[in-house]
Structure 1
Amino acid sequence: MDLDPDLAALRRLGGFFVLRTAGASADPPPTLAQAYAHRGEEVYADSTTFRVRMVADRIHSSELRVSASIAQQALAARLWSIALGCAVLYGSVPDLDPRLLHWDPAASSPDDLWLAELRPRAADAATILDLVVHGHLEPLTAALHARYGVAEGLLWGNAGSALAGAARELDRWARGADADVGARALAAELFTHPRLAPTGTLTGSAFRRRSCCLYYRVPGGGICGDCCFTRNPWSSPDAASG
C-alpha cells in the first residue's frame, strides 16, 4: 500500500504513532534540524532547551539532566513509532529528514511533529536506521550530552527502550486486530545496529535495558519496567549516572 498524503492508516494505532503531513499547518514550527543545532540565547528560540525545561517543570525536577533524559526518550519513541508504524502498515516509510520534520516543543503527540513533504522510502531496517539513528538520535544525543552532561550510554539506552516499546505496542495492536505485522522481527533486526545492540536484551517483545533513564530521581518516581535496576536506587543516587 502506497503512503497516502495524510498517513491516515497510522490513526488506528493511536496518537503516538500519528504524523501530521503537508497542509496540516500554515505556520509550522522550526525543524528538528534547527533544534539539534541551534545555539540561541532565548529560551524559546532554542526548542530543545525549551522542551527540557518544560519537562523539568512538569515533573518538578531541579535536575535538567533528568528532564533531558525523559524528553529525549519521548522524542525517540515518537520517531520509532512513526517509522515502524509506516513500515508495517504501508510497506514503506516517509523520509524523516530532520530538515523536513518540524517540531513544536510545547505540544504533545500528534501535534508535536509535522512533516513538510512526503517522500516515500524503503521500509527495510537499513533505511529506518539511517533515518532514525543517523538522522535524529545521533545529533540529539550529542546535543544533550554536550548541554546537560547526560551520559551517552544512558541516552542510547533510552533509544533502545523506546524502540522496544514501539514494537511492543504494534505487536499488541496486531494481536487485537488478528494481524501479523512483523513488528518483532523488524525490531530484532534494528537492534543489531552497533548503537542499539549494547543497550539491552530483547526477548520476544520483552526488553531489559543495561542503563537507567533516571526516572527514579523524579519526585514520586520509581523504576521503569525495563530498567536495569530491580529496586529503587535512590539511597545511592549516583548509581545510575550512566
Structure 2
Amino acid sequence: MPYRLPVPPAVIAGAVADVSTIGGFFEMGVGPIGPGWRPLADLPVRHRIDDAAVRLGTGETRVAASLLFQGLAARLWSPVVGVAVAHGLLVDVDPSQVHWYPTPSGPLPLRAQRLTGRRVVGTSLAEPLYRAVVPGLLEPLAQAVQEIVKIAPGLLWGNAASALAGAVQTLTRGRPELAGRAIALGRELLALGVLRGSGELVEPAPDRPFFVRRSCCLYYRVPGGGMCGDCVLLDQITRREQWALTMRRGGGS
C-alpha cells in the first residue's frame, strides 16, 4: 500500500540546491526572504501579460498570455520534476510559501524560506506530483489568465505539457544518467488529468526525447516568430529533419 514518509527540510533543501545547478528554470533558493520578494499567490498576471506583449512586440494579448503561461509553467514544473527524478522526492510547493522576485528578463526567480517534502513509497511519484503542480499551481494561473483574455483551455494545457516536456529534455541533457527516469516520469504525467491527450514524448533515438504536441502556442504570430519544434502545425518531414539536426549538435528540442 502506498504511503508517504516526511523528509527533513534540510534534505529537501539539499535536493533543490542540487537540481538548481541544471539550469535557470530549475533554480530555487531556500532561506530568508529579503525585501522585494512576493508570494507566488500574488503574481500580477495582467501586468506580466502586458510586459510580455511589449517584449514580444505583439499587440495580440492572447499571444502574449499564451507564451507567458508557457514560460511560467516551465518555471514551476522544472524544480519539482528535477527533484523527483534526481532524488525520488516530492517537494511541497505552496503558492503562499514560494516567493518570486521581479526581473526584466530570464526565468522568474523563485525562493522559499523553508521547503518541506516527502518520499513516496509503494507507488509512482507521478500522481502526487501532478496534484502538487497542476491543481496547486497551474490551474489557478490558468484561471487568472482566462479572466484577462479569452483563450482556449486546450491551448493552455498544451503549453503546460510542452513546458513539462522541456523540463524532461533539459534533464536528459544535463543529467544523461537520469534520462530513462525523466522520460518515464514525463510520460506518466502526460497521461494524467488535463495533460492527457496534449501530446507525446517520442524517442527517435534512445534517451533522446522530443515532444509532439496537439495544439499550438501561437508563437508563429509573434513578429519574426515561427513554428516551435514541437508544434502541431509542423510537417513530419521538417520535424524529423529538425530532430536529426538537433541530435547531431548534441541538444534537445
TM-score (norm 1): 0.82
Q: Name the aligned partner's letter for residue 228 of structure 2.
A: C
Among candidates 32, 39, 48, match of residue 31 of structure 1 = 39
Matches within 5 A, 1:96-175: 96-108=93-105, 112-122=109-119, 124-175=125-176
Classify 1:179/1:64 alpha carbon distance in 2 versus 1 (closer, same or farther; 3 Å). closer
Q: Which has the higher mean CA deviation after the structures are superposed, 124-133 or 7-16?
A: 7-16
Please give the alpha-carbon distance, in whole angstroms, between the structure 2 residues aligned to 1:111 and 1:163: 16
Q: Which has the higher mean CA deviation after the structures are superposed, 11-20 or 218-227?
A: 11-20
Gaps of 5+ in 2: 1-6, 204-208, 236-253
Please give the alpha-carbon distance, in whole angstroms, between the structure 1 residues aligned to 2:131 and 2:195: 13
Deviations 1:29-71, CA, capped at 9 Å, x for gaps = 3222223xxxxxxxxxxx2112111111111111111111111
Look up the match of 2:185.
186
Classify 1:206/1:179 alpha carbon distance in 2 versus 1 (closer, same or farther; 3 Å). closer
Contact 1:157 1:209 (8 Å CA) reproduced = yes
Please give the alpha-carbon distance, in whole angstroms, between the structure 2 residues aligned to 1:133 and 1:31: 18
Matches within 5 A, 1:59-78: 59-78=56-75
Please give the alpha-carbon distance, in whole angstroms, between the structure 2 residues aligned to 1:208 and 1:110: 24
Look up the match of 2:82.
85
TM-score (norm 2): 0.79
Deviations 1:131-166, CA, capped at 9 Å, x for gaps = 110111111111111211121110000000001111
The answer to which structure has the higher strand fraction is 2
Please give the alpha-carbon distance, in whole angstroms, between the structure 1 residues aligned to 2:147 and 2:101: 22
Please give the alpha-carbon distance, in whole angstroms, between the structure 2 residues aligned to 1:136 and 1:80: 9
Among candidates 209, 216, 229, match of residue 213 of structure 2 = 209
Deviations 1:161-208, CA, capped at 9 Å, x for gaps = 001111011012222xx4556101111111111210121122242211
Contact 1:5 1:118 (8 Å CA) reproduced = no
Please give the alpha-carbon distance, in whole angstroms, between the structure 2 residues aligned to 1:34 and 1:179: 34
Classify 1:157/1:132 alpha carbon distance in 2 versus 1 (closer, same or farther; 3 Å). same
The answer on 1:48 being equivalent to 2:45 is yes
The answer on 1:3 being equivalent to 2:12 is yes
Among candidates 80, 90, 95, match of residue 92 of structure 2 = 95
Classify 1:225/1:150 alpha carbon distance in 2 versus 1 (closer, same or farther; 3 Å). same
Look up the match of 2:229.
225
Q: Which has the higher mean CA deviation after the structures are superposed, 149-158 or 96-105?
A: 96-105
Task: Look up the SS of the partner of 1:75 in the other structure.
Answer: helix
Deviations 1:70-101, CA, capped at 9 Å, x for gaps = 11100100111111111122221321111111
Please give the alpha-carbon distance, in whole angstroms, between the structure 2 residues aligned to 1:29 and 1:49: 18
- Offset, 1:16: 1.5
Classify 1:107/1:100 alpha carbon distance in 2 versus 1 (closer, same or farther; 3 Å). farther
Q: Name the aligned partner's letter for residue 38 of structure 2.
A: P
Aligned-residue Cα RMSD (Å) equals 2.1
Work out the number of aligned pairs and report it. Answer: 217
Task: Look up the SS of the partner of 1:3 in the other structure.
Answer: helix
Task: Look up the SS of the partner of 2:52 in the other structure.
Answer: helix
